[in-house]
């Protein structure tokens, strides 16, 4: 009886060990597959974006092939259309421009490059945009470079002397 129990337990141990080896091999295969997929995603993750941008590149190449002296207004219009096409493609992939001009200065979205005296704008309002800023989905990927309004000096001096 003891011998039978020992044989059963030995058989059970062997089955468990075989099962363990199979699970270990499956885990290793899974790790390798995940690593291959991760590598592929990193390498080709932008494929859809690139495919969507290719027609924009084609249009820019056509614009460059267009004779320069013939119709400069047509060339400018073609470039504007191509730029809009590119912005639409990027918007489809989550890129949105930051609204700046006329907005209050926000250091989390804007980078102040200079201050300009302006009686026409509220103090700390964005007067002009030197370079557009963009969000990718909800993440700021580039702040807008802006000029910010401040009160004209003569108004500041008038306020100080009246105090």
What is the 3 state secondary structure string of 100-125?
CCCCECCCCCEEEEEEEECCCCCCCE
Q: Using a pLDDT cut of 90, give the percent of the chain over it.
A: 44
Stretch 4-21: mean pLDDT:
95
Q: Per-residue b/e over 27-38, b at no fewer than 16 CB within 10 Å?
A: eeeeeeeeeeee
Q: Give pLDDT tens digits for 21-49.
A: 999 999 999 999 999 999 888 787 777 88
C-alpha Rg value of the chain to the nearest Å: 32
> For residue 116, how many other CB atoms are within 10 A of its CB?
12
Question: For the chain, how far is it from start to end, CA to CA, in angstroms?
Answer: 108
Stretch 135-157: mean pLDDT:
85
Query: Is the confidence at residue 109, as pLDDT, over 70?
Result: yes
pTM exceeding the 0.85 threshold for the entire prediction: no
Q: Give pLDDT tens digits for 114-140.
A: 999 888 888 999 999 999 899 988 899
CATH class belonging to 95-163: mainly beta
Q: For 93, which DSSP code?
A: T
What are the extents of the domains in the chain? Answer: 95-163
């Amino acid at each position: 009886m003891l011998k039978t129990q020992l044989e059963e337990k030995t058989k059970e141990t062997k089955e468990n060990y075989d099962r363990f080896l199979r699970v270990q091999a499956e885990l290793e295969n899974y790790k390798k597959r995940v690593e291959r997929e991760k590598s592929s995603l990193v390498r080709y993750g932008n494929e859809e974006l690139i495919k969507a941008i290719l027609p924009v590149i084609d249009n820019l190449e056509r614009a460059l092939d267009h004779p320069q002296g013939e119709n400069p207004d047509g060339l400018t219009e073609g470039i504007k259309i191509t730029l809009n096409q590119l912005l639409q493609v990027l918007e489809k992939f989550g890129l949105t421009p930051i609204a700046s001009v006329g907005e209050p200065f926000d250091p989390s979205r804007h980078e102040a490059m200079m201050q300009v005296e302006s009686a026409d704008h509220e103090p700390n309002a964005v007067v002009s945009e030197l370079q557009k800023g963009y969000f990718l989905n909800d993440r700021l990927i580039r702040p807008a470079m802006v000029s910010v309004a401040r009160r004209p000096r003569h108004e500041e001096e008038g306020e100080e002397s009246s105090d």
